[in-house]
Amino acid sequence: SDGSVRGSERHGYDGRDFLSFQLGSKSFVAADDAAEITRRRWEDENVAEGQENYLKHICPEWLRKYVEYG
């Protein structure tokens, strides 16, 4: 492995897509007009920075720990 991290995070409700975060572009993608409201708010509040940190650092660290546990 080259150590690179790729990924996304998806949010949904009632079995439908709502909002996703794309790590590569560091942006949120709204599935519909209702999700667009949340997307704008999260971008205004710099939520993407936290999502990027989680997907690049926190999540991989925990995955490595779980793999070590067997």
pLDDT digit string (tens) for 25-45?
Answer: 999 999 999 999 999 999 999
21: nearest Cα among 41, 44, 47, 3? 47
- Tens digit of each residue's pLDDT (9 = 90 or more) over 15-27: 999 999 999 999 9
46-55: per-residue pLDDT in tens? 999 999 999 9
2 in any annotated domain: no
Asked whether residue 1 carries a pLDDT value surpassing 80, the answer given is: no
Whether residue 46 lies inside any domain: the answer is yes
* 1 in any annotated domain: no
Confidence grade of residue 56 (pLDDT, cut at 50, 70, 90)? very high
Per the structure, the count of domains in the chain is: 1
Share of the chain above pLDDT 70, in %: 99
Instruction: Let me know: does 32 contact 46? Beta carbons within 8 Å.
Output: no
Phi/psi of residue 41, each to 5°?
-65, -45
Domain-embedded: residue 51: yes
- By residue range, what is the domain housing residue 29? 8-69
